[in-house]
Every structure is written in structure tokens, then in C-alpha cells.
Amino acid sequence: MSTQFCQANKLCFPSPFRGWLADSCGGGSCQMSRVGSLLRWGQQKAAAPEAASALEPDPDPPEITGRQTLNPIGGMHYLAEHTDIVRHLCRVAPTQFASASDDHSIVIWDTETHRSKAKLLGHTMPVTCMLVVRRSGVDGDLLLSGSTDKSVRVWDLETAQCISTWETHGGTIKTLADLRGGLCCSGGHDLCVWSIADGRLVSRVKWDEEYDTDVRQIIGADNGNVIIAACDDRQLLAYRVRRGAGRANVDLLPIKKLVGHREPVQCLHKLTEHAFASGSLDGSICLWDAVDLQMTQVLNYHETYVLWDKSMHTYLYSVHHVTSVGNWLVAATGSGFSVFNIVTGTRVAKQRAAHGASVSKILLFGTEEELCVVTASVDAAVKIWDLSSCCPSTASSETQASPILELARKMTPISPVKSRTRKAAPRLIGHLYGHTGAVNDLIETDGFGFASCSSDRAVISWRNAVMEWQRLNEGTVKAVDHFYPEERPHTPPNGPEGPDDLQTPTKWNASV
């Protein structure tokens, strides 16, 4: 079901975690909590000056007062179909996306009607990951879903039916990756390679017998010939996918362990087929060559990154998510985010306190000239930031046309140095209220906006009001032309481009 289209920037839903807890509670135990944190910071300041400075009380996260005139989002659709926490979103078609929940179900949503198209039932425990793959020689895509019930299910998106169930894993499936050539990989207690066409297990590494931790995330690199696996450890592991005659002859050959982080790796991001990035609890972001498996650059390196005492173990710069577009890489670090130039290895902008709690997900959209980032947080807020002043256009430069890998090879070899920040700051242009729980995922939908999901069991489709209005108006014009070819609709009273109070939309071109 869905609520009506409404003005998002006029909603007055309170954010339950906004600002200091003392401010929202009016003193008492919350006030004591704030005092306690200040005392701990004071005790550790002398021993770790750099770390202590990072723990200085952040200013309150930026807020927008009055009307959000620059906010490209003008409306929302509240999609309520799940009965438990919604953790994952996945785009499955140009105008459709899927949401996966702890209620064991997957819902397919239509972004034009803002209603559920199908509900996929079959898992017996929470759904933990999703992946869209194309069937070899057959029209239509397949949706793969992994679950805590130790199974991977394959869904036909045309019929919304489960056509295959893979049950070889010894524990929760935590991640899925496409390896091309009709193969895919799943990770958890084991690392398994599957033939998508017939659902056969073609190769397996019993991870729990070799390592003490599970696979957290995997990506396919070098056109599916290399698997990069991150586990609850500080190392990455690389495997070569050796393909024999036919899909049944596939071997996973360990290549090497990639050492670069000082704490467990939290996230992986594919930059190109030949380059990827990894982010860690220690705050560092490593750029890697996926061909020779060498580290080419280290971003956001800090000598002191963790505070220890009897009651607190705090990672100051933990990287929760990384994404990129063009030469720009954006990382969610702590309760803020940083923007880096991949070519020069410098940090061009930093927003230290973007939210009142950890930033869980980021989404980039726009063009090289008009780049924006959407941030989602545990504090239930979704915010939009303008990066135009931080990321000048590089479309005309010679380096823009060069592959990231070649640029990385021309850089000075790895030397962990502190990132340099230019004097430019992201500008907050939109604060979207609607969720009442931690926001878990963001995804670009159909070019007219994006969607978010939350622990409050809701999915919200955020829409660009001008583009939505233009789409509906074009549909009306086509209908009138079809049924009444001799008549033309009148010009709207506020002009042909829509209401006067709505801004010209930013071109959506998201990267996750």
C-alpha cells in the first residue's frame, strides 16, 4: 500500500535521535551521559592528542530552517508492506525495485504506480542479500536472494516464482556477486560458485575450516576471473576463477592475501573491472589494482584511530560505506562523510558531523558539474548535500578519459599520508523527514528519485517533484492526442515547466 503524493519539505515528523540526547530528554540520565563522555575525553586527551581532538564534542549537525528551496525532492510515497525491519534494496528493472526484510519476504515495487507488484515468499528466516543476474540465452532477469536459513533462492522476475533453491551452505548467506559467464558466487560460512543455468554447485571453499570468521562481502573483478573476499579480519583474500571446458569445470585457486588495513574490512566497492576500493574500521580506504593485486593508494590514513579504556572501545573514523562517480570517491566515515579525488589522492571536502549518529549509507547522483550526495543515518534522517563547490568539473581534463588503474600506476607508490582538505564544504540542501528508525539502505530508482528502507519496517520512495509533474503531464498530453487529436491541452497557469515554487531538477545519474 502507499500513501498519497505530498510535499516532503513541509512534513514535520520529528527525528528521534536529532542533536544531543540531553537536548531531546531535557537532562537527567542523558545529561549525565554527556558529562561522562566529556570526562573520558579529558582523561585521554593528554595520552592521545590526535584521537582526543576527534572526540571533541561535534557541533550540532547542520539543519535547514524555513523552506528548502534548493531541495530537489518535493514528494514522497510511503510504502508499507513489510512487518519487520527492512534491510536491503535492489533495483530489478528500469521502473521496479525490490526490498528484503527480516519478515522473510521480498517485495517488488513499481515506481510508476507506487504499489507492490509481487511478494516473494519462500525463505524461512530473514533475507540478508540480493543480486540481479541475466539468464543466458533467455529474455528476462533473475533475482537471487540469500538468507539466514542457509539457502539461496532464484526468482523469475516475470512470474514472481521461485524456480530453484540452492542449499549447500553451512550457515547464513551474507553476500552474493555476479562472476559473468553464467556463474555467480555466494559467501558466508563457505565460498561457493554456482552455475546459474542449472543451479549446480561447481566449486566450493569451506571457509570455516580454513579461517575463524565468515565472509562479510565479496566482489567479482577482472571480468569475473578474480574474487575478492572480505571477512571479519583485517585481510582481503583473492581467488582466481579457473574455468575449464563447460560450466561444470570451475576451480577456485587462492592467489594471495591482501594486507593493507589494521582493522577488519567493513566494505568493498568496485571502481572499474580492474580496480576496487576497501574501507576499514581503522578509517583507511585502500585502492587496489585487481589485475596484479597490488595496493596503489591509501586514503584517509590516521596514525591514531582507536581509543581504549576500561569502559570504551571507540573507532574514530570507521568507514561504513564507499561509493564513487568519475574521479570522485565518497566515504561514510563515522557520523559524517569525506570526498576524495582518486587521481590526486587528496581529500577535497569533509563533513564531520553530517548526522547525529553513524552514517550507514551514501548515494551519489548528478553530473560532474552538479554533483550531490544523499546520506542516510542511524538517526533516522536522510539528507542531501550539494558538492558542486567541492568537486569542480573535470570532464575536459586529459585525466578524465584515462582509466583509473593507469592513473593509479602513475602515482607515487603507497605512502600513508594524512589527507589534505581544500577549503570547501558540502552544502546541506535537503533534510527529508519520514523514517522513525535507523535507515539501512539507499538506492536510485527510475531517474525521478531514490528509495530508502529502515528499521521502522517502511520503504519510502522520494520523488523529484518537477520531474514527476513533467512525466505525468506528458502522459496526459499523449492521452489527449490519442483520443482527441484535434485538441491540445491549455498551458498550465504557472507556465509550461510546472509550479513556480519548484526548482529546475537535477539530472539523476546515481552510483551506489
Give the model's pLDDT for residue 309.
54
Give the model's pLDDT for residue 485.
66
Give the model's pLDDT for residue 295.
93
- Asked whether the beta carbons of 284 and 301 are under 8 A apart, the reply is yes
Residue 256 sits at the vertex; the CA angle it makes with 288 and 283, to the nearest 5 degrees, is: 45
Asked if the model's pLDDT at residue 368 lies above 50, the reply is yes
CA distances from 225 to 179, 181, 259 (A): 7, 10, 21
Give the model's pLDDT for residue 413.
35
The pLDDT tens digits for 377-411 are 999 999 999 988 887 764 433 333 333 333 333 33
Residue type, 492: P
Give the model's pLDDT for residue 61.
81
Asked if the model's pLDDT at residue 356 lies above 80, the reply is yes
Cβ contacts of residue 198 below 8 Å, gap of 6+? none
The pLDDT tens digits for 222-240 are 988 999 999 878 889 999 9
Give the model's pLDDT for residue 213.
79
- Asked whether the beta carbons of 320 and 300 are under 8 A apart, the reply is no
Mean pLDDT of 201-219: 82
CA atoms within 13 A on the CB side of 397: 12
Beta carbons within 10 angstroms of residue 310's beta carbon: 6
DSSP 175-196: EEEEEETTEEEEESSSEEEEET
Exposure of 245 by Cβ count < 10 A (0-12 exposed, 13-18 middle, 19+ buried)? exposed
- Asked whether the beta carbons of 207 and 216 are under 8 A apart, the reply is no
Here the cell at position 452 is 530508502
- Asked whether the beta carbons of 213 and 233 are under 8 A apart, the reply is yes
Mean pLDDT of the chain: 77
Residue type, 498: G
The whole-angstrom separation of Cα 130 and Cα 177 is: 9
Mean pLDDT of 148-161: 93
- Greater confidence (66 vs 88) lies with 88
Here the cell at position 277 is 576500493
Q: Which of 24-33, 111-120, 470-479 has the lowest mean pLDDT?
A: 24-33
Cβ contacts of residue 332 below 8 Å, gap of 6+? 319, 320, 321, 322, 358, 359, 360, 361, 362, 375
Q: Which of 78-82, 139-143, 293-297, 422-426 has the lowest mean pLDDT?
A: 422-426
Mean pLDDT of 373-380: 95
Q: 465 falls in which pLDDT band (50, 70, 90)?
A: confident
Helix (H) or strand (E) holding 454: strand 449-454
The whole-angstrom separation of Cα 166 and Cα 194 is: 9
Look at the pTM and tell me if it is higher than 0.75. Answer: yes
Give the model's pLDDT for residue 367.
65
Asked if the model's pLDDT at residue 322 lies above 80, the reply is yes
Give the model's pLDDT for residue 474.
67
Asked if the model's pLDDT at residue 298 lies above 90, the reply is yes
Q: What percent of the chain has pLDDT over 70?
A: 68
Phi, psi of 355 (to 5 degrees): -135, 175
Give the model's pLDDT for residue 442.
96
**C-alpha 503: how far from chain center:** 27
Q: Which of 200, 207, 189 is nearest to 250 (CA)?
A: 200
CA distances from 167 to 9, 150, 153, 231, 390 (A): 46, 6, 9, 21, 48
